[in-house]
A = this chain, B = another copy of it.
Amino acid sequence: MPQIPSTTKGMQTRAHLLSSARAVFGRDGYVGTTMSGVATEAGMSLGGLYRYFADKEDLFAALVADTHDELFRASGTTAHRLEEDPYQALLDANTGYLTHYYDNRDIMRTLVEAASVEARFRDIWWQMRSRHVTRFATVLKMKFGMDEVDGLPVTRVAEAVACMVEQSAYVWYAQDSLQEDPIPVDQAAQVVTRVWHASFFGADRGSSV
C-alpha cells in the first residue's frame, strides 16, 4: 500500500500527480479514466504512479477527500446568525457551498458518476449529504425548537431542501456544458435560499421573522 511521502520532493510529485489526475477524471470521467492515462498526462511512468497510488479508486478517493471537508466548512461559516437573520445566514451558507462547488465542479461531476458504479464512493456521497442534513435539522431543533414543519418531520423537510441545493448545483455547474444560459453563483444562491427560507420560515424574508 503506497504511503503519503514525507520528503518535499515526494510531496511535490504527489501533488503533481493529483493535479494531473484531476484533469483526466474531469475530461474522461470515472469509468473512462485509466492509470496509464494519468501517467501519460503527468509525464511519468506507470510504475512511478503506482508508487504513489494503489489504483484508480485510491487516486480518486484522495482527490475527493479534501473537497468533502471543504464543502462542509464552506457552507457552515456564516457572517450572520441563523436565529437573528435566517435569510442572510442561509444566503451566506448557500453562497459558500455553491462557490466551492463551482470551483470543484469537475470533481463533483465525477463523484456522482463514481458513486453510481462503486460502493465506496456511494458511501462517501451519502456521508457528505447526511452531514449537511443532520447539521441543519439539529440547528432547527436547537435554536428554533422546530421538530415539525406543518405536521411533517423537520428532518424530512431538511432532506428535501438539501436535495434541492445538491441537485441544483449538479445541474447548473457539474453539468454546465448542457446550460444554454449559465446562472451566476450569486443568483443561484438567491434562488436556493428563497426556496429554503420559504420552506422553514415563510415567504417574509425580513430580518425579524
Contacts and interface: CB of A to CB of B under 8 A. Distances in A.
Identical copies in the complex:
2
Interface of A is mostly: helix
A175 B166 CA distance: 15
A15 interface: no
Which one of A192, A194, A202 has the greatest number of beta carbons of chain B within 10 Å? A194
Contacts of A163: 163-164, 166-168, 170-171
Interface string A149-173: 1101000110111011011101110
Interface stretch (A50-58, A61-69, A109-117): A109-117
Contacts of A150: 194, 203, 205
Contacts of A191: 152, 156-157, 159-160
Of A117, A160, A203, chain B has the most CB atoms within 10 Å of the CB of A160
Given A160-B192, A167-B167, A152 B31 contact: no
Given A31-B117, A163-B171, A157 B195 contact: yes
Contact of A194 (B178, B187, B199): B199
Given A164-B167, A178-B126, A29 B116 contact: yes
Contact of A187 (B122, B152, B170): B152
Given A113-B116, A157-B191, 12 more contacts: A29-B117, A31-B31, A126-B175, A150-B205, A152-B190, A156-B191, A157-B194, A161-B195, A163-B168, A163-B171, A198-B203, A202-B202
